[in-house]
Amino acid sequence: MIHEGKVAIVTGSVQGIGLATAQRLCAEGASVVTNDIQPDLGKQAAESIRNSGGNVVYINGDISDPAIPRAIVDTALNNFDGIDYVVNNAAPPRPPATIDEVDNVGWERQFQVMILGMSMLTQYSVPEMRKRGGGSIVNLSSIHGLAAARDRLIYDTLKHGVIGFTRSTAIALGPDNIRVNALCPGIIIGERMQPILDDNPKLRDLWGSMYPLKRPGRPDEMAGVINFLLSDDASYVTGTTIVADGGGMAQLQENVGWDVHDTITNPDGSQTPMLEAIMKKSFDPSADEST
Ligand SMILES: NC(=O)c1ccc[n+]([C@@H]2O[C@H](COP(=O)([O-])OP(=O)(O)OC[C@H]3O[C@@H](n4cnc5c(N)ncnc54)[C@H](O)[C@@H]3O)[C@@H](O)[C@H]2O)c1
């Protein structure tokens, strides 16, 4: 068990990526403090982890309230014997907003959780990591931290900010042997996204066709990357960003458009993506003619 004797904090950890991360770290031997703003789910999740042999304590509260990051750190110190890892994962629901729609309340609320909460928890945890001779922090950014969507102004801006925060703190904390990295997930189907897919089966087809791996991702797949980044296997990795998106960011936009929206009908009635057909024909003029 690679995290035996280690103590981790995971925010936003009653569902989705946060829950999968808490489960994985416990399974690898870490003691984990979980935190969220959903008390019933928080207790249930902690109980279920304990029933599987994990060592976990749940603390309820909004990480944008300065008292809560302090209380999370105190919970780790009172229940376990220090802090080795922090996973800044919590994020509020992200309502669509363009520049014509945003208001200051929206900006402030999202900033307080996604940036200020992350900063406070990191700041209060670092002295404890220093006492242990080092530590590792993973901040959840997104593919929205690398590129933008038309109507996600606040989310896109702040997820870009998470990467800036990660780089800056990695530089400052490197001499203390504290590593800081960011994870940029693509579309990951957890409890929040599942009902959206259930109501819109076409969306699953669309997402399935867009990504080279031909499917959206799962929370446990993100937990695997976070587990690696926290572990000694990543001992020379800091200040970086890992993209885990089924290959989506690796491909040109025009290819996605072709793949998703345009197909041609073959003589036998089957469909071939437009791009594939064009490329095939470009390199092999004798290729089967299609209508
Ligand atoms: N799921 C995806 O497709 C995806 C893609 C890219 C990035 N991400 C990022 O990964 C992280 C986890 O995503 P997810 O889809 O698993 O999220 P989710 O919405 O399923 O879970 C987030 C959790 O954070 C909690 N939370 C919200 N505000 C909080 C606060 N102020 N204090 C404490 N807890 C709070 C929520 O109650 C929830 O349980 C987020 O930072 C998200 O932006 C997710």
155 tagged catalytic: yes
CA of 251 to the centre of ligand 1 (A): 26
In angstroms, the CA 33 to CA 79 distance is 9
Do 238 and 275 belong to one domain? Answer: no
Measured by CA distance, the residue closest to atom 25 of ligand 1 is 12
| Domain contains 1 | no
Are 212 and 267 part of one and the same domain?
A: no
With a 6 Å cutoff on the Cβ, whether 59 touches ligand 1 is no
- Cβ 142 under 6 angstroms from ligand 1: yes
Tell me how far the alpha carbon of residue 219 is from its chain's centroid. 8
Residues 137 and 274 both lie in one domain:
no
SS3 200: coil
The answer to whether residues 235 and 208 belong to one domain is yes
Residue 80 CA to ligand 1 center (angstroms) comes to 25
The answer to whether residue 221 sits within a structural domain is yes
Give residue-wise pLDDT tens across range 215-230: 999 999 999 999 999 9
Cβ 38 under 6 angstroms from ligand 1: yes
What atom of ligand 1 comes closest to residue 222's alpha carbon?
Answer: 10
Q: List, for residues 175-205, the tens digit of each pLDDT value.
A: 999 999 999 999 999 998 898 888 887 787 7
What is the CATH classification number for the domain harbouring 82? Answer: 3.40.50.720
In a domain, 2, yes or no: no
CA-proximal residue: ligand 1, atom 2 (nearest): 188
Q: Is the CB of 63 under 6 A from ligand 1?
A: yes
Number of domains, the chain: 2
Structural domain boundaries enclosing 259: 252-291
Q: What is the pLDDT of residues 80-110, one digit of tens each?
A: 999 999 999 999 988 788 999 999 999 999 9
Residue 215, ligand 1, Cβ within 6 A: no
Task: Clarify whether residues 266 and 197 are in a common domain.
Answer: no
CA of 137 to the centre of ligand 1 (A): 17
Q: Are residues 184 and 291 in the same domain?
A: no
For residues 41 and 150, membership in a common domain is answered with yes
Residue among 58, 85, 124, 155 flagged as catalytic? 155
Same domain, 266 and 245: no
Alpha-carbon gap, residue 59 to 69, rounded angstroms: 10
Alpha helix ranges (H) inside the chain: 16-27, 39-51, 67-79, 104-111, 118-131, 153-173, 194-199, 201-210, 219-230, 253-261, 274-283
| Among 126-135, 185-194, 255-264, the least confident range | 255-264
**Residue 198: predicted pLDDT:** 87
Q: How many CB atoms lie within 10 A of CB 255?
A: 16
**Domain contains 183:** yes
Q: Both 205 and 287 in a single domain?
A: no
Whether residue 260 is found in the same domain as residue 205: no
Of the listed ranges 162-176, 186-200, 231-245, the least confidently predicted one is 186-200
Residue 22 covered by a domain: yes
Query: In terms of domains, do 274 and 143 share one?
Result: no
Distance 90 CA to ligand 1 centre (A): 5
d(Cα 20, Cα 130) in Å, to the nearest integer? 27
Residue 200 lies in a domain: yes
Label residues 206-225 b or e (16+ Cβ within 10 Å = b).
Answer: ebeebbeeeebbebbebbeb
Amino acid 200 reads N
114, part of any domain = yes
Residue 284 tokens, joined: 């092999």
Statement to judge: residues 139 and 261 lie in one domain: no
- Nearest residue CA, atom 23 of ligand 1? 12
Half-sphere exposure of 225 (CA within 13 A, CB side): 23
- Ligand 1 neighbour 89 (Cβ under 6 A): yes
Ligand 1 atom, smallest distance to 63 CA:
32
Pocket flag, ligand 1, residue 118 (CB < 6 Å): no
Angle between helices 67-79 and 118-131 (to 10 degrees): 30
**Is residue 93 domain-resident?**
yes
Residue 28: partners with Cβ closer than 8 Å, 6 or more residues away: 1, 2, 3, 4, 227, 231
The mean pLDDT value for 140-157 works out to: 96
- Identify the burial level of 156 via C-beta atoms within 10 angstroms of its C-beta, where 0-12 means exposed, 13-18 middle and 19 or more buried: buried
Closest CA to 114 of 64, 73, 172, 75: 64
d(CA 108, CA 240): 27
